[in-house]
Structure formats: structure tokens, C-alpha cells
Amino acid sequence: MNDIIIITGGAGFIGCAVSEKLIGQGYRIIAVDNLHPQIHPMQKRPDALHPDVELVVADVCDADFWDGFLVDNHPHTVVHLAAETGTSQSLTESNRHAMVNVVGTTQMLDAFTRHDAKPQAIVLSSSRAVYGEGMWRAQDGHAFYPDVRSHQQLSSAEWDFSYNGQKAVPLSHRAGNVMPNPSSIYGSTKLAQEHIIKSWCAAMQVSASILRFQNVYGPGQSPFNPYTGIINLFHRAAYAKLPIQVYEDGVIGRDFVYIDDVADSVVASILNPADSLRLLDVGSGNVTTILEAATLIAALHGAPEPVICGKFRDGDIRWAVADADPLDEELGVRAKVDFASDGAKLVGEWLLEKGYME
Ligand SMILES: NC(=O)c1ccc[n+]([C@@H]2O[C@H](COP(=O)([O-])OP(=O)(O)OC[C@H]3O[C@@H](n4cnc5c(N)ncnc54)[C@H](O)[C@@H]3O)[C@@H](O)[C@H]2O)c1
């Protein structure tokens, strides 16, 4: 019988892209997904999920589900993607985020133990959110970890960080060099997930690959979820010929990494399991400001120039970009799709083709 790969959250954006790439490689692929209504309002199997993938509709927090399921299905590899993913939403729905991201993970691991069904490897989708504001460097070379930006600070339009009155610049995220310091509840739950997977896998002698994704975008991302997918939102506003509202002063920096490149990093982690633990950042290595992204997308649709509205979201971080070298060195994966020249346009074409611009 073929080895089983379980992909929790496998009906989601990244899950569908990962399983698509695994088809034909000799695995039996099972997606365990509760078809969360915020992502799947029709509550049906997404068209993007390859027909050869078995979909089991279930909640990862449900111990009874795991008990029934694991009787016949012992996984070779688990790709753990199921999560609540809203950074701003996690501030007001923190329990929901903690339940799925933390307790959902522990429920799954306990069930593997109960059924003597520990996999050989686990791949966890973590997030750049674990870094919070990350590490910055002042003009005199002093490196420091900024605190969470307070509501008061943001209300006074103090967007950036300084050190002893000196201007400072953010450093690229590189696991091991930059320590996690989450500034959102979502980020805290993702960091807890990392620690849980790390401890469990070390004790159980299970290979663990923890991948910290930057801002993943591309065709297939739910256009229905108002809390994630900024590129989709920008396209829809621009298509309606509305000026895109850009938050803060527009100089929020993000590393937009294309879905295919992210799926490649997950597949490479599955096919080349870590000896024990690997912790890698997954990004393009290039930064795009929110204003640059909005200006580019507005131009694609002939929409008016974006408007810098000065609004902000508590918990949002100022700047995030990955050091792309370690992923390449360890797994030979480097992002291929450039946001400005190709990626942004591909999303617009997909939204139009699927009728999601209305
Ligand atoms: N998309 C990004 O930019 C990004 C960035 C960093 C990290 N990540 C991480 O990648 C993973 C996948 O993200 P995505 O972009 O594919 O999100 P998504 O929302 O498209 O997919 C998540 C899937 O998980 C399912 N799900 C949610 N709660 C569940 C539960 N309790 N039980 C079973 N299934 C459940 C949803 O129905 C959905 O299909 C998440 O762990 C997320 O934290 C994503």
C-alpha cells in the first residue's frame, strides 16, 4: 500500500497547491479539513483540490475524529497546515486562534501517541509572524528588538523605530540569527505550535521541518476571507476603479512569495526529511512596500492612484523580509516568480477568470 501523507488544512490555499505537486509521486494523500466557513463559504470541496486527493471533513481539535480516523490510517508524513490565520482577527478572537493552532496541534499529537501512529516526519507551516517586528540595526551598528508598537504610538503616526535617537533599519528574517518575538496573538500561537512540534518530534524521534512562510499570495487564495489576502483585496478595489486605501504611510514592507514557490519548499521538505529538526524561512528575499504593491495593481487596472489613509491595524508589523539563502542551501529551493513583473498580474488574471472581481 502507498505511504499516507496527511495534509491538515489540505483544502486551503497552500494545501491544494502542495497536494497538486505530490500527485503521481506514489503517495496516498489525505486532506483533513473542516472547510472553515470563513474560507469555504459554500462548505464544499474546492475545485482546486486535485480529484485524487481524499478529503476528510473534520476538525483537528476533535479527539474523537482522530481516534476513528487513525484506526485505519497511519501517516508516513504529516503536513500540518490547519490553522486560524487572521493577524488582526486574533486580537478579538484569541481563543479561537489558540484552540485551533495550539490545542488542535496537541490533540493531533496525542492521538498519534494513543494509536501508536507516529509519522516518520512532520512538516509545519509556521509564519513570519513569529518574529514580530524582528531585529533592527541603529546607525551605530547596535542591533535591537523593538517592542510591540502600542495603540497610542500608532495613533500618533509613529510608524518606525529608532534607537537612542538614531534612525534604524530592519534586518532580514533568518532563523537562528533573528529570535522570535511575536507581536500578535496569531504570531504567539504559531510560535507555540513550533515549540510543541519541536519538543514532541525530538522526544518521539520524528523528523521535523518547520517552515516560516512570509506573505504567501497567488491564484487559489480565498477571495472570501476578509482577514487575509491583501493582494486579492487590492485587485478587487482597483478593478472597481476605486483608489486603494494604503495603511500607515504606505511604507509597510512585505516579502510577497508566490504560492508555487511555497509549495515547492513544502514538497522539498517532504521528499528530503530533516535528520532531526530544520527551521527555515520561506520568502522571495525581496521586499515590496504596500504603496508599491498598491500602485502596481492600480496601474494594471487603470484605477486611480492609491490613497495613503494613515489608518493602521493593531498587531501589524512594520517590515518583514526573509533571507532566502538558507532555504536554497538546505533544500535547493529559491523563489522563481517575481511579484512586480509576473506574480501580481497572475493573481488579477485568476480573479477575473474565476469571476471573483464582482
Ligand atoms: N497564506 C499565508 O500568507 C501564510 C503565511 C504564513 C503562514 N501561513 C500558514 O500556512 C498555513 C496554511 O495557510 P493558508 O494560506 O493555506 O490558509 P487557508 O485559510 O487557505 O487554509 C487553511 C485551511 O485550514 C482549514 N482549517 C481551519 N481550521 C481548521 C480546523 N480546526 N480543522 C481542520 N481544518 C481547519 C481551513 O478550512 C482551510 O482550508 C497556516 O498554518 C498558516 O498559518 C500562511
Q: pLDDT tens digits, residue range 54-94?
A: 999 999 999 999 999 999 999 999 999 999 998 889 999 99
CA dihedral 295, 301, 303, 309 (to 10 degrees): -40
Interhelix angle 344-353/230-239, nearest 10 degrees: 70
Could you list the residue range(s) of the whole structural domain that residue 348 is in?
4-352
User: For residue 190, is it within any domain?
Assistant: yes
Protein residue whose Cα sits closest to atom 30 of ligand 1: 59
- Res. 134: pLDDT tops 70: yes
Find out whether the beta carbon of 321 lies less than 6 Å from any atom of ligand 1. no
Tell which one of 7, 8, 14 to mutate to probe ligand 1, the residue whose CB is within 8 A of the most ligand atoms: 14
- Considering only residues 95 and 1, tell me which one the structure prediction assigns the higher pLDDT: 95
Query: Among all residues, which ones are annotated catalytic?
Result: 186
Inform me whether the pLDDT recorded for 317 exceeds 80: yes
Mean predicted confidence (pLDDT) in 162-190: 95
Q: Tell me, what's the pLDDT at 31? A: 98
The predicted pLDDT at position 224 comes to: 77
DSSP state of 319: B
- Give the distance (Å) from ligand 1 centre to CA of residue 85: 6
On whether residue 104 sits in a domain, the answer given is yes
- CA-nearest of 214, 217, 243 to 231 is 217
Give the span between the Cα atoms of 128 and 74, in whole angstroms: 31
Q: How many residues does the chain have?
A: 358
Give the three cell numbers for residue 124.
509545519
Does an H or E element contain 282, and which? strand 277-282
Residue % of the chain over a pLDDT of 70: 99
212: left (phi over 0), alpha (psi -120 to 50) or beta: beta
pLDDT at 1 over 90: no
Compute the distance from residue 191 Cα to the ligand 1 centre, in Å: 15
CB 312 within 8 A of CB 274: no
pLDDT at 337: 98
Kindly give the distance from the C-alpha atom of residue 245 to the centroid of ligand 1, in angstroms, as a whole number.
26
> What is the C-alpha separation between 30 and 35, in angstroms, rounded?
14
Q: Is 216 in the pocket of ligand 1 (CB under 6 A)?
A: yes
Q: In 3D, which of 221, 297, 290 has the Cα closest to residue 255?
A: 290
Grid cell of 81 as nine digits = 497546515
Per-residue confidence band for 345, with pLDDT thresholds at 50, 70 and 90: very high
Q: What percent of the chain has pLDDT over 90?
A: 94
**What pLDDT does 225 receive?**
75
Instruction: Among 9-13, 28-32, 352-356, name the one with the lowest average pLDDT.
Output: 352-356
Cell of 311: 489608518
Pairing of strands 207-213, 277-282: parallel
Residue carrying the nine cell digits 533571507: 323
Q: Which residues 6+ apart lie within 8 Å of 184 measured at CB?
A: 87, 88, 90, 91, 129, 132, 315, 316, 317
Cβ of 125 below 6 Å from ligand 1:
yes
- Per the domain annotation, does 358 fall within a domain? no
| Å from CA of 13 to ligand 1 middle | 7
| Average pLDDT of span 248-265 | 97
CATH number at residue 163: 3.40.50.720
Regarding beta strands 27-33 and 54-57, do their DSSP bridges make them parallel or antiparallel, or are they unpaired? parallel
Q: Is residue 357 part of a domain?
A: no
Q: Is the CB of 295 within 6 Å of ligand 1?
A: no
User: For residue 320, is it within any domain?
Assistant: yes
Number of domains in the chain: 1
> For helices 290-301 and 230-239, what crossing angle results, to 10°?
40
Q: 3-class SS at 87?
A: coil
pLDDT in tens, 211-234: 999 999 999 998 877 777 899 999
Per-residue pLDDT, 265:
98
Q: Is the dihedral of CA 211, 102, 105, 42 positive or negative?
A: negative
pLDDT of residue 228: 74
Name the residue with the closest Cα to ligand 1, atom 21: 12
**How confident is the model at residue 87, as a pLDDT?**
86
